[in-house]
Structure 1
Amino acid sequence: MEAGSINKASPNGSADKTGHSEEEPPEKATVLQKDIGLLSGISLIVGTMIGSGIFISPKSVLLYSGAVGPCLLIWTACGVLSTLGALCYAELGTMITKSGAEYSYLIEAFGSLVGYLYSWTTVMVLKPSSFAIITLSFAEYASAPFYPDCTPPLVVIKCLSAAAIVLITGVNCLSVKLARYVQNFFTAAKLIIIAVIVVAGIVLMAQGNTENLSNAFEGSTTSFGAIGLAFYNGLWAYDGWNQLNFITEELKNPYRNLPLAIIIGIPLVTVCYVLVNIAYFTVMTPSELLSSPAVAVTFGDRVLYPVAWLVPLFVAFSTFGSANGSCFTAGRLSYVAGREGHMVKILSYISLKRYTPMPALLFNGILAIFYIMPSDINTLINYFSFAQWAFYGLTALSLIVMRFTRKEFDRPVKVPVFIAGIVALVSIYLVLAPIIDKPEWEYLYCTIFIFGGLILYFPLVYWKAKWTRKIMRPITMHLQLLMEVVPPEKTK
């Protein structure tokens, strides 16, 4: 425990020999509770993966693949690759039942330094900026009905985005159960609108609207680089398949529910993505789809009139649910990094009353609000996305490494090692493809930022300088009193 922190207060009333109060029932241990079941686990995976991308701009895959046929094949292949990656995470998550996903696995396989660089990059940039950009998408769709003849003012979008961040962070701080209900509700909402689009597409196909699906491979590209970029954009839409591994410690029966949620959730998203794209092509030619600013809205205007307004409403629901899932898992990463000493200890503290990682959630929310201020956050996300794939590749490699270095670990789920090799090779390609295709100085700046974390690592983590404890002691104590949080109890 960090010096200067306050221990959990004992309950009122006299205590018996076991230390429990005679007037009050024993309290739950101050740790994150195992409240997440199979349905909520599936909802977290599906709800975080399906954000705004499939509704707004599936055109990137079409642009680089060149034709309808290769486009649909790439959407399917991206689902297969995501499933392979998730199977690797199923083995890792049931072998190392700690929250934090990649962070916990990288520490076990490669040591503290690699885990720290992951937490530094993800906690400080990737998670909060992703949270910010999802809420900005939500704000655009939520404000659009109030500005029917023009684009909503930027200040309105950013204020609404900040309000969404505050609301979602507040919900997650208040109760894990409430956050779970929110996730389940909005996941159901996005599956409803996907079902509406898919059924409409099937009806249109039955009526003979299949012109765009005939000669589906005409005009397809054979460029290796272009196909790679199509995969890159498709896999970006599938991102989020690893979300359940961030909360392994809160899963009921993780040995069963973690792999089962992955096996159900990711193929479900794959089927949804492919069928939605087929539905789009029953209404729009490839050129019309490429020119559409928001594909699902164009589809709704042509097919669902006079209830076309349902599409932007449900897209807003979808983005809100995705943002809730992002916030939920981001808080757990900050919590675990604080517990391991790679972030300030206060981030690892838990609300005494609500059993949520309140400091970690608030820290992620505050950073996200800062990230909505720049004018071009999309650029930031694009340049840092190569770092995400570098960590995916390292995590797949960690599975291979631990087959030799951690033979004693129990592996309830064991995948063929070549699957991890495929994921590692794909990750290497996805790291190098954008840099080789279009070299930019920004990639170098991102790399400098990642390794710049070493400036803090050695004095604060490796050497544990005494002056840092003197500075943090009063800050930690005051924050504990303000938020009513305590260090997590150690469990056997």
Structure 2
Amino acid sequence: MELRQRTPEDSPEKTEPQVETDTSKLTLKKEIGLFSGISFVVGTIIGSGIFITPQGVLMNTGSVGLCMVVWSTGALLSLLGSLTFTELTSVTRTSGGEYAVLLKTFGPIPAFMFVWSIEIARNPASRAVQCLTFAEYLSTLLELCGSPEPPKKLIAICVLVVLAFTTSYSVRLSARIQVFFTAAKLGALIVIIIGGLVKIGQGTLSELPTGFDGSVTVISNIALSYYSIMFAYGGWNNVNFLIEEVKDPQRNGPLSSIIGVSIVGVVYILTNISYLAVMTRDEMYQSTAVAQTWGDRVLGRASWIIPICVMMSVYGSANGGIGTASRIQFAAARDGNWWEFLSFISVKRYTPMPTIICHVLIAMCMVLQGTITTLINFLSFTSWVFYCACALCCIVLRFKIKDDPKRIKVPILIPIIFMLWCLFLVVAPIVDNPGLSCCMLPLSLLVASSSISHSSTST
């Protein structure tokens, strides 16, 4: 497979037709339309989160009523973030997501710090969580004696290898996989929703009538419940990472985000209503696979359907996650802010193959070293620090770049509210658990020292 470096100067003029056999002019191809974009958003968001986090949210909120409020406002937070990134990507107009935003606003050093932190920590950890969840549910079908960890980790690594192949082979293939698994996972969640509504119609309400009884008033607990929820909503801005490959990005970019996030919000709320109508509070607390417990209560012998659907859901989410996150490293390397070999793309496949392989290798290391719970805690703090920084970028760019005819303006109140909400999610858990900030200090020092070294080398 021949690879060639891609630089911004390689793009052909509009008056010259691009000839795919001319390897001197390579660019990422526009393969993603509105439907594919929505599928990437919905498919990337709906993954492992809705199947492993509901009990954590209920424990941190203490009541059904507050739990549903937090799930609903989580959808609102995702929508605010999506709209903020819609404006940001309309200004940057390049792949790379938060990296491209920080580079345009504050320069190469903050952008490099982001790439280092995200690509060494958050994104591979997300893939590891997704693949470990896949392995966890597959083990329920295989009925492994004693639930040993080594086979699960081996399964997770095998899934990562398959994902690396499909996302490297073709953007179009990856998009088709995303559409298929998005439809499959929505079908599975519809089964859960309809099953719950049928039980409610039959008079089974379980915890629903308890309302706001037992609601937690500790702010840090509520913030931690958002950590679990926003992990489930993770991916609300992922279509923006593929902006160079989206057809008619000014229209399809924002529409994909808005429609995709709205669909997921409705599905998540109805799914939680179904969980709470069928299971008791104690069952929710004790379950490590909420969907499987729900299936045992409602579907009986047909409960084997649930693990299969969860695995399809997680695979689709990981597929979209690798496809979008790998573009961050590609964009950074193309600009000279990351290792040069990661700016190469396949001549035949038009995919950033080296970045995909690098991403998967780091995720494999995390699969071997971590667990689902520790990895979620590891990635959440970093995520909201940089989301807060990007919201600030949106405000700064309003004044830094005033006249941009292609900018998609959102009300300035949206990025302001989003930034304050992100700041709350960063600060509130530390108030109750100062050790979290101590855990992040070594990573921050490593990032800073690497940035200084990188800057000196570039100079």
2:301 is the counterpart of 1:306: yes
Instruction: State which drifts further: 350-359 or 404-413.
Output: 404-413
Shift of 1:387: 1.6
Q: For the residues of structure 2 that align with 1:138 and 1:289, how far apart are their CA atoms?
A: 20
Aligned to 2:223: 228
In the other structure, the counterpart of 1:383 is 378
Deviations 1:78-108 (A, max 9, x none): 1011101111111111222111111111111
Contact 2:4 2:346 in 1 (8 A): no
- Which residue number corresponds to residue 165 of structure 1? 160
Quick one: distance in 1 between partners of 2:268 and 2:177?
23
- Mapped to 1, the partners of 2:5 and 2:96 lie a distance apart of 25
Which letter maps to 1:458? Answer: I
Cα deviation for residue 290 of structure 1 reads 1.6
For the Cα contact (< 8 Å) 1:399–1:420, is it kept in 2? yes
TM norm structure 1:
0.86
Deviation track 1:348-386 (CA, whole Å, cap 9, x = no partner) reads 111111111011111111111122111446424413421
Deviations 1:265-303 (A, max 9, x none): 001100011000111122112222222221111111111
Specify the SS of the correspondent of 1:217: coil
* Structure 2 residue aligned with 1:453: 447
The residue number in structure 2 matching 1:426 is 421
Superposed, 1:406-425 pairs within 5 Å as 406-425=401-420
How many residues end up aligned between the 2 structures?
Answer: 448
Residue 291, structure 1, aligned to residue 286, structure 2: yes
The 2-side partners of 1:20 and 1:246 are apart by 23
Deviations 1:392-449 (A, max 9, x none): 0010010111111111223542111111111111111111122221121x63343332
Distance 1:159 1:149 in 2: 16
Gaps of 5+ in 2: 7-15
Task: Describe the superposition over 1:103-125 as per-residue Cα deviations: whole angstroms up to 9, x where unpaired.
Answer: 11111111111111101111122
CA contact (8 A) 1:91 1:411 kept: no
1:136 to 125, 132, 140: 132
* Aligned-partner SS, 2:215: coil
Q: Counterpart of 1:298 in structure 2: which amino acid?
A: T
- Determine if contact 1:213/1:281 at 8 Å carries over to the other structure: yes
* 387, 392, 397: which one aligns with 2:392: 397
SS in 2 for 1:452: helix
* Match runs of 1:215-364 below 5 Å: 215-364=210-359
- Does structure 1 retain, via aligned residues, the 8 Å contact 2:47–2:130? yes
Displacement of 1:344: 1.2
Matched residue of 2:186: which SS? helix
AA in 2 matched with 1:336: A
In structure 2, the partner of 1:147 is 143
SS at match of 2:368: coil
| Identity across the alignment (%) | 39
Query: In the aligned structure 1, how far is the partner of 2:379 from the partner of 2:440?
Result: 6
What is residue 12 of structure 2 aligned with on the other side? Answer: none
Pair 1:129–1:204, CA change in 2 (3 A)? same
- Give 3-state SS (helix, strand or coil) of 2:213's partner: coil
Report what 1:438 is aligned to: 433
Distance 1:303 1:216, change over 3 A: same
Taking the aligned partners of 1:415 and 1:221, their CA distance within structure 2 comes to: 34
Which residue does the alignment assign to 1:207?
Answer: 202
Distance 1:25 1:445 in 2: 50
Structure 2 letter corresponding to 1:444:
C
CA distance in 2, matches of 1:307, 1:187: 22
- Aligned ranges 1:54-65 → 2 under 5 Å: 54-65=50-61
Residue identity in the other structure for 1:141: Y
Structure 1 residues 215-249: Cα deviation after superposition (integer angstroms, max 9, x where no partner) = 41222223333223222322221111111111110
CA distance in 2, matches of 1:35, 1:426: 34
Matching residue of 1:123: 119
* Deviation (angstroms), 1:68: 0.9
Higher helix share: 2
Q: What amino acid is the match of 2:366?
A: Y
**1:39 aligned partner:** 35
Q: How far apart, CA to CA, are the structure 2 residues paired with 1:19 and 1:97?
A: 21
Distance across 1 between alignment mates of 2:123 and 2:310: 21
Q: Following the alignment from structure 1 to structure 2, what is the Cα–Cα distance between the partners of residues 277 and 373? A: 31
Question: C-alpha deviations, 1:134-162, integer Å up to 9, x for none?
Answer: 111111212321226531x2111111111
Query: What RMSD, in angstroms, separates the aligned Cα atoms of the two structures?
Result: 2.2
Are residues 1:464 and 2:458 paired?
yes
> Using the alignment, how far apart are the partners of 2:217 and 2:437 within structure 1?
27
Give the Cα separation in 2 of the matches to 1:320 and 1:80.
26
Tell me how far 1:310 sits from its aligned partner.
0.2
User: Aligned with 1:162: secondary structure?
Assistant: helix
* Aligned-partner Cα distance in 1 for 2:439–2:60: 27
DSSP-derived class of the 1:36 partner: coil
Aligned partners of 2:455 and 2:45: how far apart in 1? Answer: 34
Residues 213, 445 of structure 1: CA spacing in aligned structure 2 closer, same or farther, 3 A cutoff? closer
What does residue 53 of structure 1 align with?
49
Residue ranges of structure 1 left out of the alignment (5+ in a row)? 9-17, 466-492
Distance 1:430 1:457 in 2: 26
In the alignment, structure 1 residue 97 sits paired with structure 2 residue 93: yes
Equivalent position amino acid for 2:442 in 1: I
Alignment partner of 1:350: what SS?
strand
Cα 1:204/1:377, change in 2 over 3 Å: closer
| Change in 2 beyond 3 A, CA 1:455/1:271 | same
Shift of 1:19: 12
Larger radius of gyration: 1
- Report the Cα distance in structure 2 between the residues aligned to 1:284 and 1:38, rounded to whole angstroms: 38
